[in-house]
Amino acid sequence: MKRTIFTVIKKNILTQGNKIKADRLALENRLEDAQILYAKICKVDPTDAEVWVKLAETQRRLGQYSDAESSGRHAVRLLPNKAQPHHVLAASLHCQGKLDEAITGYRKAIQLQPSYPPSHYLLGNALMELGRLHEAESSLLYALKLRPNFSAALNDLGAVLLQIGRVDQAAVILKQALALNPQSSEVLANLGCLLEIDERVEEALEFYRRALRAQPDSLNVLAKQAELLEKIGRLEEANELLERGLASNSKHPALNLIAARLERRMGNHTGAVIRLEDVVSQPMTYAMSGEIHLLLGWLYDRIGQTDKVMSHLNEGKLKTASTADPDGAGRVRFLEKIAQTRSWINDQRLININTNELSLVDSPIFLIGFPRSGTTLLEQILDSHPDLQTMEEKPAAAAMEQAFLAMTSGVPNAVADLTQQQVDMLRNTYYHEMQRHVERRLDTLLVDKLPLNIVRVPLLWRVFPEARFILVVRHPCDVVLSCLMQSFGNNDAMANFVSLESAAELYVRVMEAWLDYERCLPLHYHVIHYEDLVTNFEIESTSLLDFLDVGWHEALLDYAQHAQQRTIIQTPSYHQVTQPIYEHAKYRWMRYEKDLAPVIDALQPFINHFGYAR
């Protein structure tokens, strides 16, 4: 009996000594040695839940995720009412891409221990990977409430805010994160993204380089840098980075996506398809999966395999929809905005506004239409004219609209009731915001290109009654199909492009509004058809330039070369408008007439109105 007691005591002393040694090894980052000791202790005493937790965490840090999951499940069986086993199990599932199970685990850990910041942080991280950005924001904010200087949570919150489009808030958060951890590769990379959004390209590239110096093996940062280089046309540099990254991990989703975009640039559409099909089933974020499916849909269309197009487009939109507008609230808000704007033209006093004192010289030219109608192509063409200067999709009109709504609450008679003093204030607001984004060239007319400024036409006309509008139109079926093929930013308007039906509904609402404006307001506008522009370039361009009173210039013939000299083009057409005029997208919809059948009837009035009826 005494010998048995002595043996147990000796065994416990040895086990405790091994625990202390294993903990020290883990702290010193000698993870393989720590794992061996933790596993030995678990074999000696399979009921020690604390050591199973530590073994699972060590295995996770070593990248042995399946083993970590097994150890984590053992710990949960031993201590089902303690938070830490659930947390380490969730973390191992998270690393394997089992995000739904991981989220369940994190939430169980939080239920058992609400004050543990890492569970809230990792829950937010998993939600972000699934594209559930608003839920992710809430979890990350709670983690920061518990631990205000949690730099990793600050970084992820900044990344979430960037994706949501709250750029100014993201800048504040990311600068806080950088102050806490100046050498964080993730923070530096997200600040690079921030600068990229602001079109400060060289500064963005420098931040990506700093991020890689901080973590040379970060393939995600390498992908971000290569993505920007591809977008601005520095293709050899992008290719060098991609080759370096893919040599390390040939299945990396982001690197392969960018490599496929590069192959698209080079006309190797089949090669891009093979590349993406090889990685599309790899674990990745919802957003990344959505981007790959959308590009596959576009590529299959280009190589003529139309039977494979719609399944990829629908899958891509399903994935991106969960990120852009998970509850559909943004989509509803934009449709309500259209209805509100249409209400502003019901006052007959609008047509009696005196415009005699206003000048054409300082008035913008508004280039409008529906997204994917050819506005980016036309903007690049116009910008090549020495007497014109374009502004690409900047929020000058949006800032003016916000000032107007703050001034009037946007009630139905608000536009007609504006005083001259208020109009002057709104013009100044527009110009102030415009000057933040462009350095005006002397003796040029400003062309403000933002397609969905078409919704704001009543206010734009009221503040700039002398303004000229260029309306770009394209076959409605091609427009809606093209909207399905593209990935857009996260905002209320783009939230409508999640299916053929929702894209068609937005088209109908926007164009119904335009027809109202056209009928009720004395607009000075010119309509140009995308199909005519790509078929009869000089004739259509000359007609438009005459409308603008600038006349034809030979520089327009080199618009593609001019576009290549632009720092960055921020629209989905960036890779197309630097090419010479092409016609392969003209009447593309005819190949998908059966798929478009559910929306044809809704689009038919506009097919007729814009002269596309067969």
Q: What is the mean pLDDT of residues 497-514?
A: 95
Q: What is the pLDDT of residue 80?
A: 95
Task: Convert the pLDDT of each residue in 12-57 to its tens digit.
Answer: 555 677 888 888 988 899 999 999 999 999 998 899 999 999 999 9
10 Å Cβ neighbour count for 219?
17
Query: For the chain, what is the largest distance between any 2 Cα atoms, rounded to a whole number of angstroms?
Result: 111
Domain boundaries 329-353+363-394+445-609, corresponding CATH code = 3.40.50.300
In the three-class reduction of DSSP (H, G, I as helix; E, B as strand; rest coil), residue 489 is classed as: coil
Domain residue ranges of the chain, discontinuous segments joined by +: 329-353+363-394+445-609
Task: Convert the pLDDT of each residue in 171-200 to its tens digit.
Answer: 999 999 999 999 999 999 999 999 998 889
Q: Residue 123 and residue 438: Cα distance in Å, rounded?
A: 41
Closest CA to 415 of 353, 333, 360, 357: 353
10 Å Cβ neighbour count for 392?
22
Judge contact between 313 and 297, C-beta under 8 A: yes
Question: What confidence category does residue 5 fall into, taking pLDDT thresholds of 50, 70 and 90?
Answer: very low
Q: How many angstroms from the chain centroid is the CA of residue 186? A: 18
Share of the chain above pLDDT 70, in %: 90
> What is the pTM for the complete model shown?
0.82
In the three-class reduction of DSSP (H, G, I as helix; E, B as strand; rest coil), residue 410 is classed as: coil
Q: What is the mean pLDDT of residues 417-429?
A: 94
**What are the residues facing 27 on neighbouring strands?**
none
Distances (CA, A) of 54 to 11, 58, 115, 265, 562: 20, 6, 20, 49, 60
Task: Convert the pLDDT of each residue in 525-537 to its tens digit.
Answer: 999 999 999 889 9
